C-alpha cells in the first residue's frame, strides 16, 4: 500500500475518532452502546498506530519524497481533528468541564431515565483517553528498524566508530573493556546455532540465571497384585533418584577481522562482525555439546560420552557382499533397543560417512536403506528404517571422520542451559596489532548435557566397524 492511500485511511480514521469524541462530549453515547464504541475506538487506534509505524519506517527515498507531506498530513489530520473535536470545548481542559458540570446540567433538565441510561464519567474519560492516543499517534520505529539500529550501534562500538557514552545512549551495555551482546544479536546467534547445531534444534533449552537440577530415577517402585482380599500390610517400595546439575561453564570463542575489511566504507561492518561471531560461537558450542573434549572445559554429559554404546548381534563388514542386509538388520536392532517412550520420539542423527553407507547400500530384496520421506516437515527429508534422519559433521568420531556414526533416540532429553544476559564481547586491539587485525572474544555461560535415567537411556550410539558383535 502506497503512502497516499495510507494517508487517506489515516485521515478517515481520525475523522471518525473526532466524531466519536464529539458524541462523548455531548453525552450522546448511552450505556448500551458502550461496548461497541470501545471496540470501534480500540480498532481505530490500533490501525492508526500501524499506519503511523508504516509511514515512519518507509525507505529513506520515500521519506524524502513524502515524509514531509506524510508528517504534515498526519499533523494536519490530528490537528484538524483536534480543532474540530475541540471546537465545542475550546481546549483540552474544556473536555472535563463539558463532561461533568455541563452535561449534568443538561441532563438535569431532561428526564431522569436519560441520566440513568448515560455512561459514567470514568467510562467516558477512559474512552476519551483512547481517542486522544489515536488522534496524537505518531510513527514509531518498527521492531525491525530498532533491531537494525541496535545491531549497527553494537558493531560500530565494537570496531571503535562510536565511544562508550554514545553506545549507552543507543541502548548498548558497555564498560570495563567489554560489551554485553544485545538480545537481538544474541538471539540471532542462537538461532544460527540452532540451524547448525542439531542438539540446539532438538534439545530442550532453559534460560535462567540459577543452576538447573534434573532428578533422574535410579530405582523404580514396584507395584503389587493380589486376587484375594489383602490380609497383610502393603509392602513398601523405595524409589531412588539421582540428581544431575547443569552448572554452566565459562564458554568463549575468538574471531578476528582484518582492519582493512572493517575500514572499507562499502563493507557492511555490522554484518561482518555478526557473521564472524556466529561462526566462532557455533563451532565451539557444537563441539562442546557433541564431544565435550575442550581442555579445561570438558563436558561429561556430551552426546558422544553419554550416549549408550550399541553393539549389533552380528558384526557388519562394509566390504562384504551382504553388507547392505546386515547393516539393515543392525539398524533395526538399534532402533528397537530403547524403551517404547523413547522410540515414540526417536530420530536419527548420523555423520556424512554413515550417510554415504546407507545411500549406497541395499537390502537383499533391492530396496535402499535410506528412503525419501513422502510427507516430510518442510518438504524434504529422508527416513531410515521408519524414522527421520539428520546429517551433521559434528557427529564425526574425533580424528576418524571416515567412521560411520549413528545416533538414535529422543534428543529432547539433551538439556541446555543458557544464562540470561551472560553473553559478552571483548575487543582485542593490541593483541593482534602486529597482523593488522582486531580480535573479538565472545564470552558466555553455557551448559548442555544428555540427561536420562540409567533405567531408560535416551540415546544410543553405533560406530560401524569399531564394535564387536554381542553374544
| 358 and 465 in a common domain | yes
157 within domain boundaries: no
Judgement on whether residues 128 and 211 belong to the same structural domain of the protein: no
Residue 279 sits in a domain whose CATH number is 3.30.2400.10
In a domain, 350, yes or no: yes
For 142-179, the pLDDT digits (tens) are 566 667 777 777 777 766 677 777 776 666 776 655 66
Pair (277, 356) in one structural domain = yes
Tell whether 174 is covered by a domain.
no
Virtual torsion, Cα 282, 283, 285, 290, nearest 10 deg: 120
Cα(461)–Cα(303) distance, rounded to whole angstroms? 9
Tens-binned pLDDT, residue by residue, of the chain (471 aa): 687 888 888 888 888 888 888 888 888 888 888 888 888 888 888 888 888 777 776 643 444 444 444 444 444 344 444 444 444 444 444 444 444 444 444 444 444 444 445 678 778 888 888 888 777 766 555 566 667 777 777 777 766 677 777 776 666 776 655 667 777 777 777 777 777 889 988 998 888 776 676 665 555 566 667 677 767 777 766 655 566 777 777 777 777 778 787 777 566 666 677 677 778 888 888 999 999 888 877 888 899 999 999 999 888 888 888 888 888 899 999 999 999 989 999 999 999 999 988 888 777 777 777 765 444 344 345 788 889 999 999 999 988 999 999 999 999 999 888 887 777 777 788 888 898 887 877 788 888 889 888 888 999 999 997 544 443
Choose the final residue of a domain: 109, 140, 171: 140
Q: Are residues 327 and 453 in the same domain?
A: yes
Question: Which of 90, 115, 140 is the last residue before a domain boundary?
Answer: 140
Q: Specify if 173 maps to a domain.
A: no
In a domain, residue 387? The reply is yes
Alpha helices in 223-361 (DSSP H): 259-263, 269-290, 303-306, 323-335, 340-344, 352-360
Q: Are residues 55 and 204 in the same domain?
A: no
Name the grid cell of 62. 520515500
Q: How far, in Å, CA of 303 to CA of 29, rounded?
A: 67
- Structural domain contains residue 149: no
* Among candidate residues 278, 258, 280, the one with its CA nearest the CA of residue 269: 258
Co-location of 408 and 466 in the same domain = yes
C-alpha span between 466 and 55 (Å, rounded): 64
Q: 336 and 423 share a domain?
A: yes
Same domain as 220, residue 119: no
Task: Count the domains in the chain.
Answer: 2
446 and 311, same structural domain? yes
Q: Residue 239 contacts by C-beta under 8 Å, 6 or more apart in sequence?
A: 217, 219, 220, 221
Q: Is residue 37 part of a domain?
A: yes
Range of the domain at 23: 3-140
Amino acid at each position: 500500500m502506497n503512502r497516499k492511500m495510507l494517508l487517506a485511511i489515516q485521515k478517515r480514521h481520525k475523522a471518525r475518532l473526532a466524531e466519536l469524541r464529539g458524541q462523548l462530549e455531548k453525552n450522546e453515547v448511552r450505556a448500551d452502546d458502550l461496548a461497541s464504541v470501545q471496540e470501534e475506538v480500540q480498532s481505530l487506534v490500533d490501525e492508526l498506530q500501524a499506519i503511523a509505524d508504516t509511514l515512519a519506517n518507509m525507505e529513506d527515498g520515500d521519506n524524502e519524497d513524502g515524509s514531509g507531506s506524510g508528517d504534515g498530513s498526519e499533523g494536519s489530520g490530528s490537528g484538524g481533528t483536534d480543532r474540530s473535536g475541540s471546537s465545542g470545548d475550546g481546549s483540552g481542559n474544556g473536555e472535563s468541564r463539558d463532561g461533568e458540570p455541563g452535561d449534568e446540567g443538561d441532563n438535569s433538565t431532561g428526564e431522569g431515565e436519560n441520566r440513568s441510561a448515560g455512561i459514567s464519567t470514568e467510562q467516558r474519560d477512559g474512552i476519551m483517553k483512547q481517542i486522544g492516543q489515536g488522534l496524537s499517534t505518531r510513527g514509531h520505529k518498527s521492531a525491525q528498524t530498532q533491531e537494525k539500529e541496535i545491531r549497527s550501534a553494537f558493531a560500530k562500538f565494537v570496531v571503535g566508530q562510536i565511544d562508550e557514552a554514545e553506545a549507552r545512549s543507543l541502548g548498548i551495555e558497555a564498560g570495563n573493556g567489554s560489551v554485553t551482546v544485545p538480545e537481538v544479536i544474541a538471539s540471532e546467534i542462537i538461532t544460527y546455532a540452532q540451524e547448525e547445531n542439531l542438539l540446539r534444534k532438538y534439545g530442550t533449552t532453559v534460560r535462567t540465571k540459577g543452576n538447573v537440577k534434573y532428578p533422574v530415577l535410579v530405582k523404580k517402585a514396584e507395584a503389587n497384585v493380589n486376587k484375594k482380599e489383602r490380609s497383610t500390610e502393603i509392602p513398601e517400595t523405595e524409589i531412588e533418584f539421582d540428581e544431575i546439575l547443569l552448572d554452566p561453564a565459562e564458554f568463549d570463542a575468538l574471531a578476528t577481522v582484518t582492519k582493512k575489511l572493517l575500514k572499507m566504507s562499502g563493507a557492511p561492518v555490522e554484518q561482518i562482525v555478526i557473521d564472524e561471531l556466529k561462526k566462532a560461537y557455533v563451532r565451539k558450542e557444537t563441539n562442546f555439546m557433541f564431544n565435550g573434549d575442550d581442555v579445561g572445559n570438558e563436558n561429561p554429559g556430551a552426546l558422544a560420552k553419554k550416549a549408550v554404546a550399541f553393539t549389533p548381534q552380528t558384526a557388519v563388514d562394509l566390504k562384504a557382499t551382504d553388507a547392505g542386509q546386515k547393516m539393515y538388520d543392525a539398524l533395526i536392532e538399534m532402533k528397537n533397543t530403547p524403551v517404547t517412550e523413547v522410540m515414540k520420539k526417536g530420530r536419527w542423527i548420523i555423520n556424512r560417512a554413515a550417510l554415504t553407507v546407507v545411500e549406497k547400500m541395499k537390502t537383499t530384496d533391492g530396496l535402499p536403506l535410506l528412503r525419501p520421506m513422502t510427507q516430510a516437515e518442510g518438504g524434504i527429508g529422508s527416513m531410515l528404517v521408519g524414522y527421520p534422519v539428520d546429517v551433521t559433521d559434528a557427529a564425526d568420531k574425533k580424528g576418524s571422520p571416515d567412521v560411520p556414526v549413528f545416533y538414535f533416540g529422543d534428543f529432547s532429553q539433551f538439556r541446555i542451559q543458557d544464562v540470561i544476559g551472560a553473553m559478552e564481547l571483548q575487543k582485542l586491539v593490541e593483541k593482534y596489532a602486529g597482523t593488522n587485525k582486531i580480535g573479538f572474544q565472545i564470552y558466555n555461560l553455557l551448559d548442555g548435557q544428555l540427561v536420562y535415567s540409567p533405567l531408560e537411556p535416551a540415546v544410543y550410539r553405533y560406530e560401524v566397524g569399531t564394535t564387536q558383535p554381542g553374544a
